[in-house]
Chains A and B, each alone.
Chain A
Amino acid sequence: MKKQIILITVLSFLSFNLLNAQDAKEIVNKSTKAILSDAMEMTSTLKIYDNKGNVRTRQVKNTTKKFADATKTIIKFLSPADVKGTGMLIFDYEEKDDDMWVYLPSLKKTRRIVSSEKSSSFMGSEFSNSDMSKPKMSDFNYKLLSTETINGKVYYKIETTCKTAETETIEKFKRKITYIEKNTYLPFKTETYDKDNKLIKTITMTDYRLQSTGKYMAFKMTAENNKTGRKSEIIITNLVTSSSLDESYFSTSNLEK
């Protein structure tokens, strides 16, 4: 009898955890699906603030689409004037190093870049490249911590941890806490913690707008570096969801235009 009670307790504990993990993963999955990510052309203003409040403003046109073997992206600078026309073409493969080309208008030529080094920063801002891309869910563990009400809205508080030490080194975080709105599954805020459990970065996503595809896009994103006091902001000024873009669009000749 005693053994049975123990067994039942252990089993119910296990099943609770299993349920919890599945719930959390499900919420994250739904959240990822609610956000637009497959194909888009957008013009945005990237503002990079230092800790004294100085600001660098860049206007960038960003076109991206996912194809069978890679996600292809063209980034072009619209302003400031001295870098206008500077562009990059990136083929982001799942399994191998990225292919990259850079076009510098002053040199009037495109140069292929072979890099085994992946820059962690997105265009020199506080956003990391992984902040800007869809996470590979199988690399992480998810846990539903609680629900929390902020400004009248209820949010799931989900903890994300890396499954392996290798992922930890690549992603440069110990754990993340994401606040996902209960009704819409839209993420509102992500807090990143280091190995010492110190808050190192806070990303907030606001101004969600529903797109014709039925998915949402946050028109304002802010990344605050809690260690250095620096901040970066992306405000989308124009967004076109264009699943019709042809793969040939992502070519070096287009980069030079």
Chain B
Amino acid sequence: MFKKLLTKPYRYFLIIIPILIFLGFLIPLRNIRINPDMTRYLPQETESKLNLEKIEEIFGHNDPIIVIFEADDILERESLEKISAIHDSLTESAIISDVMSIFNTKNIRGEDGFMLVDPAIKDIPEDKAQKEELRKEIKNNPLAYKLFVSEDFRYSVMIINPEKGYSDSEIINTTKNIVNSIWGNEKYYMSGMLYLREEIQQKAMQDLVILMPIALLVMIIFLYFSFREKRGVILPMLVVVISTGVSMGLMPLLGYEFSIIAVLIPILMISVANNYGVHIVSKYQELNATNPNASMEQIVLESLRCVANPVILTGLTTIAGVLGLIVHIMLPAKQTGIVCSIGISLALILSLCFIPAILIGMKKGKVNRSFKEKSRTVIDKILYYMANVTVNKPKRIIIIFLVIFLISFVGIFRLNVSINNEKMMSKSHDIRRSTDIINKHFGGTKYISVLFEGDIKDPAVIDEMNELEQLLKSKEQTGSVTSLSSIIRIMSKALNDKNDEAYDKIPDSREAIAQYIEFYNMSGNPEDFEKFVDFNYTKAIVNVQFKAENIKEYNSILNEIQKFCDNSKYAKYQAGISIVEKDMAMSIINGQIYSLILAMITIILLLWLIFRSFRTGLLGTIPLVFTIVCNFGLMGWAGIELDIATSLLSSIALGIGIDYTIHLFWRIKLEIENKKTLSEAIQICLTTTGRGITINAFSVMLGFSVLFLSGILILKTFAFLIIFSLLLCLVCALVLIPAILMMKPEIIVKNIKLNK
């Protein structure tokens, strides 16, 4: 088949068509857009997203920037003056819709028969006595203390809501410019989903622009040192460039938006796509050295004959692994699976058609030095040593692997899933610092709203809201709970004296509640209520702010609210960005499990088909199971959380890592067929094929190592873990599998006989 394809005129088609396809796929790349909105990673029909949408439709969409100011004492005249100036400048900006800070929160209270309504800070204190007086006032003001000023008076929070129709970067830049110009060099921190989105957007774009060329350069250098011949670099790189370009072009073409993990796509493609071409070039160089009289056509066709089968098989298993991601629930994971499996398929086809089509038209190259010199490299020495140990002490090796396996297995129980999106950034990042401060001093970064339905002015409804509020306030994790019932209680304290019966109580008549609300509408800002109750007073929400470090802490609050909703007449459901986040975490776990199972089953089936033996298929999965357990075990022990990026890696690692075992089986089988003993077969295999797969594995690891330069923490972690996993797959293939075979030779020997 190859012979016919590689003759004129087909040969030209094989060269021109991929180039045209590549150029065609570059066009949609102009529409590349990164979507850093994590909530869109979940399918639209997810219940938590639908609930959030329903609540946002009534109570408006909230997507504020949070700025935290730090000072030795926030009540110092200079600090307050600056915060006030920032508040005013932001309020005046056309981009900002409203600003909430210590300067526009109120101080509503009852005193000596009066109801007093003042701003929380009426005047900036002039001296120490006034400052201490203000401190006392703030400590007694539930609308300011621990909401806008921290308990230790070191931090003050400003919540900035942008106008609609402006981009995240416009909003962030305006805010930063105003804050920087007034706050000067003093410390401040920014937080909020909007800010995180903007940071991800910028860092992901930077990564795409910087990492891609670096990865390509690394590959070029690696290929040059491997082959020391121009064609050895250019031909595999052409495959890499075309298949990576097509994969990237497919994204906008299929209507996919670039997510934070889309940065992985080009890096994955650059690392993996050269694998197949390398085998062709390597074999060509080998045959060129050993058959000086053969023609170029003979060498190319013979190279194809020798390596086509293992290349196709390893290609198929890699595609199977990556394709496992299509059952992932998170959309970017699914999309990465689809795009990369198409890209890798193309790389496989190009390596078998495009490279030979060009190679066959070239003159014979110089013989590679490494084929002339019989010197042993470090890799050769290590492999030789490994082969000796494996053959002589298989039992000891198996025990060592077993111990590592068990230790790792225990670590899995310590594995956590990430529920905090800000953990995408490094610990020193602004957003991590601000999250720490908010969790420690301001009641947490998680928000949930509980929807109540009914006649909201009915005391029974308000009573239930109050009940939920008190229930949640009793929990340690809860920061603040606010609703119509809390406002009514504040008003009841201001409208009544301490010894009055109605003081700090929910009134027991509908009229009284209606009058409290009407009075507030008359004297206050009616928009204050719109955050809690709809226009017709048929729906209202209780807003809960809390902190949660892990899924267990999350669930303890969510389950409490759910239990309340189940037994309540008026509380209907809970919604909020934090529940969407939790659903994302669950989707990461489930997606991880589904994709892993699919990848595993497909790979077992492929191995079964390739080696026509179910037992060999199962043996082939041992390195995979070992790698997965060690990977999750390491994550558990090291406290690395499962996140959107790390949930992709096991499927990808399996797909790539299985190649090493396939090459190994293939060679051992061949040597046994050539009447070698098992020990001899293993020794030959490790020092020949072993060398090839080691170099191949290191090239892939080198490709992924570029991600260490990423500005996004989870991508760096991904790089570390995938390199660790690939290394394990390699070690398993080179050491564990031969050791098992030495202990149970019938697994492979018997099958050879059977096959014959």
Contact = CB atoms under 8 A, between A and B. Distances in A.
Interface of A: 50, 52, 54, 56, 75, 77, 80, 82-83, 86, 88, 100, 102, 104-107, 111-117, 119-121, 123-124, 169, 194-196, 198
A166 B519 CA distance: 28
A205 B443 CA distance: 49
Given A121-B526, A198-B94, A114 B515 contact: no
A119 B535 contact: no
B522 A88 contact: yes
Contacts of B92: 169, 195
Best-buried of B114, B122, B524, B535 by chain A (most CB within 10 Å): B535
B526 A111 contact: no
Contacts of B521: 123-124
A115 B117 contact: yes
A196 B526 CA distance: 25
Contacts of A112: 113-115
Nearest to A123: B522
Contacts of B507: 106
A82 B525 contact: no
B515 A104 contact: yes
B553 interface: no
29 contacts: A56-B535, A75-B522, A82-B457, A83-B518, A88-B523, A102-B522, A104-B516, A106-B512, A107-B495, A107-B512, A111-B114, A111-B495, A112-B115, A113-B114, A113-B116, A114-B114, A115-B523, A116-B118, A117-B106, A117-B117, A119-B523, A119-B524, A120-B525, A123-B522, A124-B522, A124-B526, A194-B94, A195-B92, A195-B94
Contacts of B727: none
B24 interface: no
Given A77-B518, A117-B118, 10 more contacts: A82-B457, A82-B511, A105-B511, A111-B115, A112-B114, A116-B122, A119-B524, A123-B521, A124-B526, A195-B94
Contacts of B106: 117
B515 A82 contact: yes
Contact of A114 (B116, B496, B518, B519): B116
A83 B515 contact: yes
Nearest to A81: B511
A60 to B, nearest CB: 10
B144 to A, nearest CB: 14
A113 B523 contact: yes
Return the 9 tightest CB-CB contacts between A and B, nearest first: A124-B521, A106-B512, A82-B514, A196-B94, A124-B526, A115-B117, A50-B535, A83-B518, A104-B515
A169 B115 CA distance: 26
Nearest to B516: A104
B106 to A, nearest CB: 7
A196 B165 CA distance: 14
Contacts of B122: 116
B94 A114 contact: no
Interface of B: 88, 92, 94, 106, 113-119, 122, 457, 495-496, 502, 507, 509-512, 514-516, 518-519, 521-526, 535-536
A120 B104 CA distance: 13
Contacts of A88: 519, 522-523
B88 A169 contact: yes
A82 B511 CA distance: 5
Contacts of B496: 107
A112 B110 CA distance: 10
B39 to A, nearest CB: 24
A121 B529 CA distance: 13
Contact of B511 (A52, A102, A106): A106
Contact of B119 (A56, A116, A121): A116
A88 to B, nearest CB: 6
B517 to A, nearest CB: 8
Contact of B515 (A56, A105, A113, A117): A105
B754 to A, nearest CB: 75
Contacts of B514: 80, 82-83
A93 to B, nearest CB: 17
Contacts of A77: 518
A83 B117 CA distance: 22
Contact of B522 (A50, A119, A198): A119
A114 B526 contact: no
B118 A104 contact: no
A117 B457 CA distance: 26
Nearest to A197: B94
A101 to B, nearest CB: 10
A150 to B, nearest CB: 29
B115 A54 contact: no
Contacts of B525: 119-121
Contact of B523 (A80, A82, A102): A102
A100 B510 CA distance: 25
Nearest to A84: B511
A82 B519 CA distance: 12
Contacts of B522: 75, 88, 102, 119, 123-124
A106 B519 CA distance: 12
A162 B740 CA distance: 88
Contacts of B519: 86, 88, 102, 104
A106 B492 CA distance: 12
A100 B535 CA distance: 27
A37 to B, nearest CB: 21
A169 B118 CA distance: 18
A216 to B, nearest CB: 27
Contacts of A80: 514
A119 to B, nearest CB: 5
Contacts of B495: 102, 104, 107, 111
